[in-house]
């Protein structure tokens, strides 16, 4: 099974938003990434539009549809966000992405930093999942590698989980014996999700140094990567070559 790479263009949009105008263009960045072999594009249109703006979402959807060439699953569009903030559901309704990744972030957070607490939130997440699936979207829930929480995900109707991988990345970077323990924690979480019939994605702080070991867990369907890939493109490789290197890190 090949793990698919979805390139998050939020940080390209962040750079654009620091000045007037449309440079650098998230749309052009997405086109370069897809031409270089990326399997999809991810955006996280937050209510404050500090990264991707609502006006970016539909042009990116059209680009992905053109790249897919009418073949389902060939190239996919993933829209992340908190369905209880701003107009996420309206955006999803307009764009009808292949996948909606539901993230319990708060406007005050710099970035997503925890998964869903389904012991608390499953009841209100379930009707959102039903609504999005009725639009034809696959639904993934952003989750910590906590088996007791993951075991509650099937009851929401979600198709997949996305493991929040900052803890994994931090442990690998430390280079200590703790890295093995944390790697097994994530592997066990992925195995349990798969046993429950859930697909498993991963994302957050994955980079060229830790990506290969993460996908070696097995059965990882997709990784969504933005920050590190954008930094590598800016400082070292250019965007197209950065995408190729991330694919190579996954054995592709």
Catalytic site residues? 44, 80, 204
Provide the CA 151 distance to its chain's centre, in angstroms. 21
Q: Do the strands 76-81 and 199-203 form a parallel or antiparallel pair, or are they unpaired?
A: unpaired
Task: List, in order, residues 6 or more apart from 70 with CB less than 8 Å away.
Answer: none
Q: Count the Cβ atoms, other than its own, within 10 Å of residue 146.
A: 16
Task: List, in order, residues 6 or more apart from 170 with CB less than 8 Å away.
Answer: 205
Residue 151: strand, helix, or coil = coil
Distance of alpha carbon 202 from alpha carbon 199, whole angstroms: 10
Residues 165 and 185 sit within 8 Å (Cβ to Cβ)? no
Nearest to 47 by CA among 99, 94, 91: 91
Q: Residue 96: enclosing H or E segment and its boundaries? A: none
Residues 171 and 209 sit within 8 Å (Cβ to Cβ)? no
């Amino acid at each position: 099974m090949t793990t698919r790479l979805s390139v998050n263009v939020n940080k390209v949009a962040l750079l654009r938003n620091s000045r007037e105008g449309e440079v650098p263009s998230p749309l052009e960045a997405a086109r370069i990434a897809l031409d270089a072999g990326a399997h999809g594009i991810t955006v996280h249109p937050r209510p404050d539009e500090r990264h991707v703006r609502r006006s970016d979402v539909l042009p990116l959807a059209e680009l992905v549809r053109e790249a897919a060439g009418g073949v389902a699953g060939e190239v996919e569009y993933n829209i992340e966000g908190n369905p209880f903030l701003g107009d996420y559901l309206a955006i999803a309704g307009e764009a009808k992405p292949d996948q909606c990744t539901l993230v319990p972030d708060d406007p005050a957070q710099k970035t997503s930093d925890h998964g869903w607490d389904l012991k608390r939130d499953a009841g209100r997440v379930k009707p959102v999942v039903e609504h999005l699936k009725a639009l034809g979207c696959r639904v993934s829930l952003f989750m910590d590698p906590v088996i007791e929480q993951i075991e509650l995900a099937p009851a929401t109707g979600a198709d997949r989980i996305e493991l929040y991988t900052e803890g994994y990345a931090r442990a690998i970077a430390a280079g200590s014996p703790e890295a093995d323990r944390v790697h097994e924690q994530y592997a066990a979480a992925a195995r349990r999700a798969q046993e429950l019939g859930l697909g498993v994605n991963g994302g957050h702080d994955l980079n060229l140094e830790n990506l290969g070991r993460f996908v070696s867990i097995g059965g990882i369907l997709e990784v969504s990567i933005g920050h590190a890939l954008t930094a590598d493109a800016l400082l070292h490789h250019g965007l197209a070559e950065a995408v190729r290197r991330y694919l190579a890190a996954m054995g592709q």
